[in-house]
Structure 1
């Protein structure tokens, strides 16, 4: 648990991202991150690297164009979407549980219009290259997605590998899946229910959010527990990549316990 306090202002900074690195956990079906250190200190006296990746890895933001043809790309989303006040909701969930509108009803008056909202299910503690993290995670119901739309939030982050339940993604029998072939049979053995019957649609909650211009952040991590059930200022700025479907972000929370912080006025130095 780490809060970094800036000595001059008293501002507190909290890391909310997972590391981005070689051999990081990757959603089944996506390409691994490949890093090339083409220039190194031992040989050249300087270091330079290049990489090949999908941007749907580690802590990343999804733009509407990810699921909605002709919608905004990452670089076309207004800057203020990725900076501002909001709240972290505590909604503990176990294997395959849904986040429902009933779960959210207790946050009436807590979630406000134009908020950045992060959900702490506890799943960020399981972040790993494992069937447990990717295949057993909880997910957002369509009704819960609509609840956030009705509240007019501007950005939603989850501490799970996908917004939707894993059985509603291509990990199971949707789109180009199943990329995790054991998942649906395991669900049916464990629950006695039919996976496709329970989850007939592909990523319905995520699609609904993006259709309503609410970008999403997946794999929220870091010291999320430190800011859970708190109102904070959040920062998660992606690249200015106009056609980008997603982008890795350095998500952080900012707190001002003494109330002394103010943004610079923009006064000229000339």
Structure 2
């Protein structure tokens, strides 16, 4: 069995969504003071690095992280390679790909070329893709970019369309070294009772 870590490293100075909380880790209670241990302190957004969105993120009446079914975030997943020059991901990009029996898809675009800088533009999900994927039985999509919508979008049509079709969202994966194919995905969110999102440690396993 091989394990592939597809999570972004959490490190001070890492890129975050413009205007969001910067990631900060510090040893707030060092061994010299405690007498026995180092204890760290974290400051971060719920959308730091590789993370899942809860519907509450974009819908005040939507489910919070703790209410989501954990089965969504564990199980078979297919990595699909897409050309990095595409501007959006729609039905036409997937019409020749057999998705029968697939529950989770991860889109490998390699469009986020410099992981130390937040991207100005990304390939986004076209809202019309959501009902197409739902009919195929897809319950979760993941991407190697920080959003399913354009960076400057305020209406978030892809978020809303995916949610309306029962499809959950995993963002900011690192898929550079991952070959297209079949894997087992594990990307569990934290048990944040009121959370609108949660960082995850996302991995793929392959036998």
Q: Tell me the residue number matched to 1:249.
A: 200
CA distance in 1, matches of 2:124, 2:84: 9
**Post-superposition CA distance 1:170-229 (Å, at most 9, x none):** xxxx4xxxxxxxxxxxxxxxxxxxxxxxxxxx21011111233322111111xx244332
Q: Tell me the residue number matched to 1:268.
A: none
The structure carrying a bigger strand percent of its residues is 2
Conserved 8 A contact 1:111-1:117: no
| 15-24 or 208-217, which deviates more | 208-217
Q: Tell me the residue number matched to 2:90.
A: 100
**Post-superposition CA distance 1:26-81 (Å, at most 9, x none):** 11121212334211134433111122221111000001121123222111111211
Q: Tell me the residue number matched to 1:53.
A: 44
**Post-superposition CA distance 1:94-139 (Å, at most 9, x none):** 27x11121001121x23535x1210001124432224xx2x12211
Which residue of the other structure, out of 95, 106, 109, is the alignment partner of 1:118? 106
Which residue of the other structure, out of 72, 89, 93, is the alignment partner of 2:63? 72
Conserved 8 A contact 1:64-1:213: no
The structure carrying a bigger helix percent of its residues is 1
Conserved 8 A contact 1:87-1:111: no
Is residue 27 from structure 1 mapped to residue 12 from structure 2 by the alignment?
A: no
Q: Using a 3 Å threshold, how does the CA distance of structure 1 residues 150 and 69 change in structure 2: closer, same or farther?
A: farther
Conserved 8 A contact 1:73-1:245: yes
CA distance in 2, matches of 1:242, 1:47: 27
1:235-246 aligned within 5 A: 235-246=186-197
Give the alignment's TM-score, normalised by structure 1. 0.71
Structure 1 alignment gaps of length 5 or more? 1-10, 175-201, 257-270
Give the alignment's Cα RMSD to 1 decimal.
1.8
**SS state of the match for residue 166, structure 1?**
coil
Q: Tell me the residue number matched to 2:81.
A: 90
Is residue 137 from structure 1 mapped to residue 122 from structure 2 by the alignment?
A: yes
Higher alpha-carbon Rg:
1
| 85-94 or 247-256, which deviates more | 85-94
Q: Tell me the residue number matched to 1:267.
A: none
Structure 2 alignment gaps of length 5 or more? none
CA distance in 2, matches of 1:110, 1:149: 11
Which residue of the other structure, out of 164, 171, 174, is the alignment partner of 1:218? 171
| Residue correspondences, number | 206
Conserved 8 A contact 1:67-1:210: no
CA distance in 1, matches of 2:121, 2:53: 21
Conserved 8 A contact 2:50-2:171: yes
